[in-house]
Amino acid sequence: MGKEIKLALVYRDMWQSSGKYMPTKDQLVSVAGPIIDMGCFDRVETNGGGFEQINLLRGENPNDSVRAWTQPFNDVGIQTHMLERGLNGIRMSPCSRDLRRLMFKLKKKQGTDISRTFDGLNNPRNLKLSFEYAKEGGMIAQGALSITYSPVHTVEYYINLANQYIDAGAQEICIKDMAGIGRPASIGKMIKGIRTNHPDIIITYHGHSTTGFSIVSSLEAARNGADIIDVSMQPLSWGTGHADLLSVHAMLKDAGFSLKDINMDAYMEVRRLTQSFIDDSLGYYINGQNRYLNSLLIGPGLPGGMMGSLMADLEKNLKSINKWLSKNGKDEITQDEFLIKLFKEVEHTWPKLGYPPLVTPFSQYVKNLSLMNVMQIIKGKERFSMIDENTWGMILGKSGRLPGPVDENLLELAQQQNRAFFTDDPQDLYPDVLDEFRKKMQEKGWDYGQDDEELFEYAMHPPQYEDFKSGKAKENFQKDLEKRKAAKNQSSNSGVAPIASTSTPLPKEMIVNVEGQNYKLNISYPGQDQPNANQTSSSNTKASVDEANAKFINSPLEGKFFLTKNSGDKGIQVGDEVKVGDTVAFVESMKVINAITSTESGTVAEILVNHGDDIDEDAPLIKLV
């Protein structure tokens, strides 16, 4: 018999790479038994990444889910593993030392054996604490190399990076090919080099199938010394997910490797249950495009884990840009045309940002900035005329050193905006927070939970946890799900998607200018409540002289409006003077915060939207006189 290759089922990542939501606790528990009965898995990925935040958004307690979901695997000796983002923990933004330390201690108690730790920039310094805290908490510390194909990300780069991770405390190494763009031959050489330097270390290959490379890379990985191959299974294999269990198993068996047999009756039951979760609700959040391989992604290298959110963002922004094109007498564009423009722009923008590995959260930053550039170019504006705060943080070194040099024009822009670069340890920027959240929970009468798990959840995901506790999250999810179901039924019956099916908030009012005079109009839609007669009458009357001469700061893009970026900051107020270029508010869009800068000078006469409101692109936000 040949060398034994072990298989790991990435059940969490299967879902995250396909759509927005995960199965419920009860659904996960129901599928755990059949996964065990399949008999072919030594490891199962149970949590981490966006898993817990998604639980909260659905109105479920993630701690209950993790404990119940890991228990069956713990009972039979199948190792469980989670994905964590180093400095960012299990969220998109950096967190404090005390929060990171509590996470590993807690997750081990909840039943997770292995922490797969990666840093979005592949910085060993950012991961040293994760390795230390994981081992301190009783977990196995696995260091993941985020694979990117670029002039600076060579085979030698990754072999040397593995040495640095191991020196920093990693006990295992994972080749994390999150976009599936690692060329098979290079993956093989990489693993061979790591194996030569570290004969006894466990090496896992994790490859998304997005571009079609990963099935061949799985074979090259096994031939060159990998011990474990991550796989997915029907109905969520391939596409932006991962290579299929049956294909990998048959391929490696034929190549002479030893693998555990698959109980096909149990396989079919897992397949059936997974499909039932899709049919029940989760399919409404899976974009069909994510079910296909796409070799066009070889160029931009965007990862499978973010394609679900990418397609959702693309739909919203396509509606917005086509609205602008139509209003300006230009031809609208299709989704495919928009997607190709985005892919080309990623290839242009990415090198200028210093080649950050295209993995969470930096893949989102590169994608978001590229998408913003595309939209600005279509409107006749300059590239990089709007850069979100998260991307600026990456450029300035607040997440660590970038692999390559930043473009000179961006350096000049940072200087013009008086932005300072940071070269010290990024962790020092984020002070401990647990005492602060303990105090908040005491004030609210909330319990810290078993092993401080509720404290952890609140500190890790503050706004989502508050919405979960209030019941708002569950209510919002149910409303959105019912809307999607109704839209699909109506679309199926009529062949035309109704207004109610759009996930983009429709404008309720607008300012129009007629012969130099501004008028404020209310807007209603078929099937929605109409404004009463008094509202209609007042909305159509001529604006006052002051309003007629007013200027407006409009939203640069669709999203959620915030007066301040941080809760303790002071927002703009009526009576404040603003100049062109001043930051007056913020809009959260595509998971990042964008500054809204004034395009006019004047005195703030009225703030037309509330903190936290959903806003449309080009909607008037602030009136100046």
Confidence class for position 541, pLDDT limits 50, 70, 90: very low
Task: Provide the pLDDT for residue 223.
Answer: 97
Average pLDDT of the residues in 40-66? 95
Task: Provide the pLDDT for residue 267.
Answer: 97
Report the alpha-carbon distance of residue 491 to residue 513 in Å, rounded. 36
Q: Give yes or no for residue 442 having a pLDDT over 80.
A: yes
Q: Give yes or no for residue 548 having a pLDDT over 80.
A: no
DSSP letters for 40-69: -EEEEEEEETTHHHHHHHHT--HHHHHHHH
Rounded alpha-carbon distances, angstroms, from residue 193 to 152, 168, 226, 228, 472: 18, 18, 11, 17, 51
Tokens of 200: 């006894």
Residue in the structure block whose two tokens are 């604490």? 129
Confidence class for position 461, pLDDT limits 50, 70, 90: very high
Report the alpha-carbon distance of residue 388 to residue 556 in Å, rounded. 12
Residue in the structure block whose two tokens are 């694979």? 147
Average pLDDT of the residues in 72-97? 94
Task: Provide the pLDDT for residue 312.
Answer: 63
Q: Give yes or no for residue 390 having a pLDDT over 90.
A: no
Backbone phi, psi, residue 206, to 5°: -120, 110
- Asked which of 205-209, 325-329, 376-380, 513-517 is least confident by mean pLDDT, the reply is 513-517
**Greatest mean pLDDT among 44-53, 279-288, 563-572:** 44-53
Number of Cβ within 10 Å of residue 315's Cβ equals 16
When the pLDDT of each residue in the chain is averaged and rounded to a whole number, the result is 86
Task: Provide the pLDDT for residue 103.
Answer: 97
Residue 311: CA atoms inside 13 Å, Cβ hemisphere, count?
A: 19
Average pLDDT of the residues in 150-170? 95
Average pLDDT of the residues in 131-152? 95
Average pLDDT of the residues in 355-377? 86
Average pLDDT of the residues in 373-388? 86
Q: Give yes or no for residue 415 having a pLDDT over 80.
A: yes
- Cβ 148 vs Cβ 355: under 8 Å: yes
Confidence class for position 436, pLDDT limits 50, 70, 90: very high
**208 pairs with which residues across the strands?**
242
With H, G, I as helix, E, B as strand and everything else as coil, classify residue 611. coil
More confident residue, 290 or 572: 572
Average pLDDT of the residues in 411-440? 93
